[in-house]
Amino acid sequence: MATQPLTVALFQLTSIDDSAINEAEIFSRLEEVRSLGGASLMVLPENSLYLRLDRQASVKGLELTDPVLARLSTYCRQHHCEILMTTPLRENGRLVNATLRLRGEATAEVVYRKIHLFDVDVEGAPPVRESDEFAPGTTPAMIEVAGWKVGLSICYDLRFAELYNRYGKAQVDLIAVPAAFLVPTGRAHWEILLRARAIENQAYVLAPAQGGAHRSKSGASRETWGHSMIVGPWGEILAEAKGENPPRVLRLTLNPTQIETVRRQIPQAGHRRLS
């Protein structure tokens, strides 16, 4: 288990289908974090650098050689921090929805590929079929950040408890859930599922989300739920981007003793009976 506090920052973005505009917004949020005192780990929502708005258009997938990733890596090196950013990525001739780790190295590292693809037809929102464009990932993934064990996931993964059970058994300290939830499903399920994942696994949950009305220059638009959230290992909401003008950055120092306290009171790890 982690032994030292970790200061994190979550970004709530309203990304569009223009990577240059999205990059400028990300750097604006990075400067906001600096003004608040900085953070060791910053986690960005799903589709941070590209969010398709025209459903007839093809998805733009980044390459790991894209200059924006080099600029973000330089920022991490200069400011001694890490970024987890989720965005469409072109990899070996296919598109994947991938979480990239940037920490000042020459090349961004792909640390997770979204396993569960969003193929749904929800009342009140247009049908979505991610599998028409994306190849699924196949493997859960964990990384270590400043001594904290982090379980990785993306958006629709949130509905599949078996993924998070893997992380719970591994005694992760925190779980990342970058997302771009639809409004109907966000209103009904977002908070409930995030708090459940924290309670089940007695870990912090970091859930940065796309939020607001996304409009491209061509006039295409969509809306996402937002409500980015940091949830504690007891299931309590520690920070949330809500209200008419929600904060675009959530910054908090996570204390590992909170994890220890919860696990001591309810020692779930020793009570598991099913694999």
Please report whether residue 1 resides in a domain: no
**Which candidate in 23, 82, 114, 191 is catalytic?**
114
Please report whether residue 189 resides in a domain: yes
| 46 in catalytic set | yes
Q: What pLDDT sits at residue 171? A: 97
Q: What pLDDT sits at residue 156? A: 98
Q: What pLDDT sits at residue 55? A: 84
| Angle formed at CA 69 by CA 178 and CA 208, multiple of 5 degrees | 15
Please report whether residue 170 resides in a domain: yes
Please report whether residue 177 resides in a domain: yes
Q: What pLDDT sits at residue 65? A: 94
Alpha-carbon distance of 146 to 28, in angstroms, equals 25
| 76 in catalytic set | no
- The token duo for 19 is 């990577």
Q: Are strands 119-120 and 128-129 parallel, antiparallel or unpaired?
A: antiparallel
- The dihedral region occupied by 115, where left means phi > 0, alpha psi between -120 and 50, and beta the remainder, is alpha
- The token duo for 195 is 């708090």
Q: Which of 46, 133, 66 is closest to 95 using CA atoms?
A: 133
Given a cut of 50, the residues of the chain with pLDDT beneath it are: none
Please report whether residue 69 resides in a domain: yes
User: By residue range, what is the domain housing residue 110?
Assistant: 6-266
The total domain count for the chain is 1
Please report whether residue 272 resides in a domain: no
**Which candidate in 76, 155, 191, 240 is catalytic?**
155
Q: What pLDDT sits at residue 10? A: 98
CA atoms within 13 A on the CB side of 70: 5
CB 64 within 8 A of CB 70: no
Q: What pLDDT sits at residue 218? A: 84
| 169 in catalytic set | no
CB 47 within 8 A of CB 15: yes
- Residue 78's contacts (CB-CB under 8 Å, 6 or more residues apart) are 104
The domain spanning residue 56 has which CATH number?
Answer: 3.60.110.10
CB 84 within 8 A of CB 42: yes
Q: Are strands 82-91 and 148-152 parallel, antiparallel or unpaired?
A: unpaired
pLDDT digits (tens, 9 = 90+) for 175-187: 999 999 999 999 9
What is the 3 state secondary structure string of 23-72?
Answer: HHHHHHHHHHHHHHCCCCEEECCCCCCCCCCCCCCCCCCECCCCHHHHHH
Please report whether residue 66 resides in a domain: yes
| Angle formed at CA 251 by CA 104 and CA 29, multiple of 5 degrees | 60
**Which candidate in 46, 82, 130, 191 is catalytic?**
46
Please report whether residue 202 resides in a domain: yes
Task: Note the pTM of the prediction, 2 decimals.
Answer: 0.97
Q: What pLDDT sits at residue 56? A: 84
Q: What pLDDT sits at residue 262? A: 98
